[in-house]
């Protein structure tokens, strides 16, 4: 079987599965209608994000898109208060290293990325749109937590930083209650 035939077969299976999910599933799991769906054929339960699944990115490309989006949203947070401070640069480098399993984002690289973000007209939604369908709830929380740590690295969270944080949570489809819980957890961690 040729590579093209193999890819067509896989795509046909994915499309067939999605047809089952989209056309044959309408079982709401939570109080919100259509929050989740159940495939009546296989009886698996899916979040509606499955409809946005894009099989065209392989794991390496996906990681690369995640890394680019993470760099850009962290730099957006640095710029939110119109001040670039050394502590913010250090925190971004440290957070990026942790979230990407020891990949480096040096102070010099961060400064170059900040210059690119300043020139760009993109907002947080545009930076996250490629990666959003691939992020589970835990990954979405990590992005918000990372941005919070950058914003609060100078000792306080100002209004512009808070607005960007809430906008990011909204773009990532996090409810107000969810983001409140995440921020409460972060505040508790600071106290202890």
Please, which residues have CB within 8 angstroms of residue 143's CB and are 6 or more apart in sequence?
70, 73, 128, 135, 168, 172
For residue range 145-159, list pLDDT tens digits in order.
Answer: 898 888 888 887 889
User: What is the Cα Rg of the chain in Å?
Assistant: 19
Q: Crossing angle of helices 59-79/107-119, nearest 10°?
A: 80
Give the pLDDT confidence score for residue 93 in this predicted structure: 93
96 neighbors 105 (Cβ within 8 angstroms): yes
For residue range 5-41, list pLDDT tens digits in order.
Answer: 555 555 556 545 544 444 444 444 444 444 666 777 7
Cα–Cα distances in angstroms (integers) from residue 134 to residues 56, 99, 159, in the given order: 12, 15, 29
Domain boundaries, the chain: 3-52, 59-191
164 neighbors 80 (Cβ within 8 angstroms): yes
Q: Which of 161, 170, 191, 82 is nearest to 128 (CA)?
A: 170
Neighbours of 72 (CB within 10 A): 20
Q: Map tokens 């589970």 to a residue.
A: 136
How is residue 157 written in tokens?
Answer: 């969270």
Give the pLDDT confidence score for residue 11 in this predicted structure: 55
pLDDT (mean) for 78-99: 90
Q: Domain 59-191 belongs to what topology?
A: TerB-like (1.10.3680)
pLDDT (mean) for 98-111: 89
SS3 38: strand
Give the pLDDT confidence score for residue 12 in this predicted structure: 57
Q: What percent of the chain shows pLDDT beyond 90?
A: 20
| Segment (H or E) for 18 | helix 3-24
Give the pLDDT confidence score for residue 78 in this predicted structure: 92
Whole-number Å distance between alpha carbons of 87 and 40: 53
For residue range 56-70, list pLDDT tens digits in order.
Answer: 655 555 557 788 889
Give the pLDDT confidence score for residue 62 in this predicted structure: 56
CB neighbour class for 154 (10 Å; exposed up to 12, middle 13-18, buried from 19): middle
35 neighbors 48 (Cβ within 8 angstroms): yes
SS3 115: helix
Asked which of 86-95, 106-115, 181-190 is least confident by mean pLDDT, the reply is 181-190
């Amino acid at each position: 079987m040729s590579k093209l035939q193999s890819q067509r077969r896989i795509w046909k299976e994915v499309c067939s599965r999605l047809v089952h999910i989209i056309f044959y599933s309408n079982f709401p799991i939570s109080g919100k209608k259509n929050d989740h769906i159940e495939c009546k054929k296989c009886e698996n339960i899916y979040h509606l994000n499955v409809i946005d699944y894009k099989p065209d990115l392989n794991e390496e490309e996906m990681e690369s898109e995640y890394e680019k989006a993470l760099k850009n949203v962290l730099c957006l947070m640095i710029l939110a208060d119109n001040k670039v401070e050394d502590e913010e640069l250090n925190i971004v480098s440290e957070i990026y290293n942790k979230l990407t399993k020891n990949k480096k984002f040096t102070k010099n690289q961060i400064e170059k990325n900040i210059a690119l973000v300043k020139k760009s007209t993109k907002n947080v939604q545009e930076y996250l749109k490629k990666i959003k369908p691939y992020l589970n709830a835990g990954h979405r929380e990590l992005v918000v937590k990372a941005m919070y740590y950058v914003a609060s690295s100078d000792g306080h969270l100002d209004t512009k930083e808070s607005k960007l944080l809430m906008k990011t949570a909204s773009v990532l489809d996090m409810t107000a209650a969810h983001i409140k819980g995440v921020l409460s957890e972060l505040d508790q961690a600071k106290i202890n």
